[in-house]
A and B are shown apart, each in its own frame.
Chain A
């Protein structure tokens, strides 16, 4: 029994744990770099329905997001299904989403001559990771709850997503996740990456595929994440931006001072695209 607790066995256990941790981190970093530098295979035909998921949150971010969507003239006949993720209690964002859908997108419709082509949209509420004044003791639990809710949203299983079932989308997974940096975006993008990792591992070990025909795995061109750093950020990245720099597939910045930043060597650099807001 004494030999079990001897210093040398403790030393070896510690060494083993360190090596295991380090190699996991290195594998993860390598996988992230590899994934970030990969490109989407070009095999989607132009008129397939597309599901866009937009993460909204807090006044400034939401206003900027709709400003960008208006400026890019989001085409509802192309992005046939829109999901807006708002955090609980954020009525402003939900109102703005409805306003955008009913005024901006249906206005496009009148000029578009294709009446039935605006598709559908849903507004999904996820719990906040941490409410203002919430104790830090309970914060980890609410963060997990929030993360779980994001996973449900991405898999199309959230109760607010009933209209998804009736739409002509074949897969519950959104094609593109677009966000400009509210706190909820961190949860949503990490959840998307976790799902992709999960299905990648399932593919590698050939399990889970085809066992449930109703729930196919997402294809390589689904759950793609685009992070747009807020227009208000000129020289420094926001906290969400710093956290998501290694995870987002595309990281767009609107000021040249933020161009070329990357999480670590070998990772994809931020892309300067000029102001996207109007």
Chain B
């Protein structure tokens, strides 16, 4: 049993989002298991915030009755959840960003492979674990997650291996890449959207 965080220690937030459209019970289930919560604790996380989506309410309520706030089952973590925020998740995502004035150290985002949440996390420069939803049809999310992992932007993980993905994500923190990518010399000849629109407008040069 790990000791509770020392008073005055920096807040370290892990934010998990499954998006608004599809439910992702498998991910919610695995992040509420002891293995994952212990791994968070071991990496000095203090807070876990879960956006569980429209169908995740029952899982969340089951967890709350199983492990009420302050119980052993929470392993000293502050755990909170909500279904969705119509105004977007920017505010929640920003909680994972380091902010010395607010006593926060850099946290982590775990996301379903929706492009909106991936881009949001990349823009913030916070380590991101992408978990494709295997229950979706026409699953192109897996390809996106693998490609972004190959290029060193994110950690891609299966929903079952989420606890071990945490360590890999901590490794990412030291070498986080800037987003959007800076255009290298080889990409200079690539056209921008502005260029393409100008072509199609047929401007007199």
Contacts and interface: CB of A to CB of B under 8 A. Distances in A.
Interface stretch (A43-51, A147-155, A158-166, A189-197): A43-51
A171 interface: no
Interface string A230-252: 11111110100000000001101
A235 B141 CA distance: 10
B144 A274 contact: no
A249 B200 contact: yes
A176 interface: yes
A272 to B, nearest CB: 7
A246 to B, nearest CB: 17
B119 A42 contact: no
Given A64-B115, A234-B143, A277-B119, A41 B193 contact: no
B203 A44 contact: yes
Contacts of A273: 190-193, 196
B202 interface: yes
Given A40-B199, A255-B147, A273-B191, A230 B204 contact: no
A175 B201 contact: yes
Interface string A23-55: 000000000000000011111111000101000
A43 B196 contact: no
Given A59-B21, A72-B193, A234-B140, A50 B187 contact: no
Nearest to A276: B193
Given A44-B202, A45-B204, A176-B201, A274 B187 contact: yes
A145 interface: no
B112 to A, nearest CB: 11
A103 to B, nearest CB: 13
Given A43-B202, A60-B114, A272-B190, A176 B147 contact: no
B205 interface: yes
Given A59-B20, A221-B202, A255-B147, A231 B196 contact: no
Given A72-B194, A273-B191, A46 B204 contact: yes
Interface residues of A, number: 48
A220 B200 CA distance: 10
B140 A60 contact: no
B143 A236 contact: yes
A225 B81 CA distance: 43
Nearest to B202: A40
B123 A274 contact: no
Interface in A72-131: 72-73
Band of interface residues on B: 20 to 34
B25 to A, nearest CB: 20
Interface string B25-42: 000000000000000000
Contacts of A275: 180-181
B116 interface: yes
B197 interface: yes
A64 B190 CA distance: 20
A271 B192 CA distance: 11
Given A68-B193, A277-B180, A278-B180, A43 B204 contact: yes
A278 B204 CA distance: 30
A26 to B, nearest CB: 27
A132 to B, nearest CB: 11
Contacts of A221: 200-202
A142 interface: no
28 contacts: A39-B202, A41-B202, A44-B204, A46-B203, A59-B116, A60-B114, A63-B115, A68-B193, A71-B193, A224-B200, A224-B201, A228-B193, A232-B115, A232-B140, A233-B144, A234-B146, A235-B140, A235-B143, A249-B200, A250-B200, A252-B193, A271-B191, A271-B196, A272-B190, A273-B192, A275-B181, A277-B119, A278-B123
Interface of A: 39-46, 50, 52, 59-60, 63-64, 67-68, 71-73, 175-176, 178, 220-221, 224, 226, 228, 230-236, 238, 249-250, 252, 255, 257, 271-278
Given A39-B199, A234-B146, A274-B181, 15 more contacts: A41-B202, A44-B201, A64-B115, A71-B193, A226-B196, A226-B197, A230-B115, A232-B114, A234-B143, A234-B147, A235-B143, A273-B192, A274-B183, A274-B187, A275-B180
The 4 A-B residue pairs with the shortest CB-CB distance in the complex, in nearest-first order: A40-B202, A224-B200, A234-B143, A232-B115
